[in-house]
Amino acid sequence: MKLGRMNHIGVATPDLDASIAFYRDVMGATDITEPFVLESQKVRVCFVNTPGENGPNGEPTAGTQVELLQPTEADSAVGKWLDKNPLGGQHHVCYEVPDIHEAKAWFEGLGKRVLGEPRIGAHGTLIFFVHPRDMGGQLTEIMETPKEAH
Amino acid sequence: MKLGRMNHIGVATPDLDASIAFYRDVMGATDITEPFVLESQKVRVCFVNTPGENGPNGEPTAGTQVELLQPTEADSAVGKWLDKNPLGGQHHVCYEVPDIHEAKAWFEGLGKRVLGEPRIGAHGTLIFFVHPRDMGGQLTEIMETPKEAH
């Protein structure tokens, strides 16, 4: 496997609206997507778009996003994580791959615990998570690159 | 302040060489910098370069880096962090700003606790950290963008 783009870092929060205000008013973000509920992960979610490095002629590119995650149920993966980290904070990191099924076979072939079958994630493409204990302490999301340009 | 590029995420590790092997052999990284000791933070550090989004004509750009951090002393900020998180994991996030002193005044004006005076960081430019309790649970590094192109 070849390392893909760091699509986003997942940041858990007990209050999505307060976090949106924080990224807008403190960090100076100007491009934050509308929140929506991702039922499969029991979270309300939105993305803070950050600027990427400019291209060779100064063209802007998309940077790594911040995915803000608020649990919709206390008894959910992110809800339980917030029990231990009530302020919120960095929850996972997500890298893109060209083919989700090849990536799953790759990680499993290396003995890494893939958590469940690939399912549709917040960007509308297939994703899975790999257990943090097998990934240097980082919960790692692998997502298939969207076919459309970013 | 306007949100700058996410320069890197800081990932603490109890074993830098094992983490380098992990990013190379499991994650498929092909561009990892030589480790060096950053005395001011009592860490041995290297960077995993990840691909950014392509420019409009397919030109590659630099993505957000993974900064791997191994403490050189147990009695250091990262060393103490590892006591609580022995596997390692996501330690901080770093955003670029055009002017470090303006950024410090901005955060302090908002009542955020800036941890010490700006000092030279791993990229050779001035950096400071902001207290995670004031930043939604994330230890946040602010760094002045290097004058040279990436």
Task: For residue A72, give the CATH number of its domain.
Answer: 3.10.180.10
- Decide: B45 and B35 in contact? Cβ < 8 Å: yes
Instruction: Quickly state the pLDDT bin for B31 (edges 50, 70, 90).
Output: very high
In which order are the strands placed within the sheet that holds B36-38?
Answer: B36-38, B43-48, B65-71, B6-12, B89-97, B140-144, B126-130, B114-120
Q: Give the pLDDT score at B148.
A: 67
Q: Give the pLDDT score at B58.
A: 82
In a domain, A51, yes or no: yes
Residues of A in contact with B87 (CB under 8 A): 132-133, 136-137
Instruction: Quickly state the pLDDT bin for A148 (edges 50, 70, 90).
Output: low
Which pairs with CB-CB distance under 8 Å and at least 24 residues apart come from A97-100? A97/A1, A97/A4, A97/A142, A97/A143, A97/A144, A97/A145, A98/A4, A98/A144, A98/A145, A99/A144, A100/A125, A100/A126, A100/A127, A100/A128, A100/A142, A100/A143, A100/A144
Mutation target to probe the B interface, by most B beta carbons within 10 A, among A22, A25, A27 is A27
In a domain, A46, yes or no: yes
Q: Which of A53, A141, A144, A148 is catalytic?
A: A141
Average pLDDT for chain A: 95
In a domain, B53, yes or no: yes
The SS3 of residue B133 is: helix
Q: Give the pLDDT score at A60.
A: 85
CB contact under 8 A, A136 and B112: no
Instruction: Quickly state the pLDDT bin for A30 (edges 50, 70, 90).
Output: very high
Q: What is the pLDDT of residues A45-66, one digit of tens each?
A: 999 999 999 887 888 899 999 9
In a domain, B116, yes or no: yes
Average pLDDT for chain B: 95
Mean pLDDT of A81-100: 97
CB contact under 8 A, A87 and B133: yes
CA–CA distance, B50 with B8 (Å, rounded to integer) = 10
Mutation target to probe the A interface, by most A beta carbons within 10 A, among B2, B66, B90 is B90
What is the percentage of chain B residues whose pLDDT exceeds 90?
90
Mean pLDDT of A12-27: 98
Mean pLDDT of A97-124: 97
A56-60, B20-24, B109-113 — which is least confidently predicted?
A56-60
Integer Rg of chain B from CA:
16
Instruction: Quickly state the pLDDT bin for B88 (edges 50, 70, 90).
Output: very high
> Which residue(s) pair with A140 in the sheet?
A93, A130
Nearest by CB to B11, from A30, A56, A136: name it. Answer: A136
- Is B145 exposed, middle or buried, given 0-12, 13-18 or 19+ CB atoms closer than 10 A? middle
Angle at B36 between CA B31 and CA B42, to 5 degrees: 130
Domain that holds residue B81: 6-144
Mean pLDDT of A93-118: 97
- Decide: B78 and B43 in contact? Cβ < 8 Å: yes
- Decide: B48 and A28 in contact? Cβ < 8 Å: no
In a domain, B71, yes or no: yes
In a domain, B124, yes or no: yes
Helix (H) or strand (E) holding B44: strand B43-48
In a domain, B1, yes or no: no
Q: How many domains does chain A have?
A: 1
In a domain, A1, yes or no: no
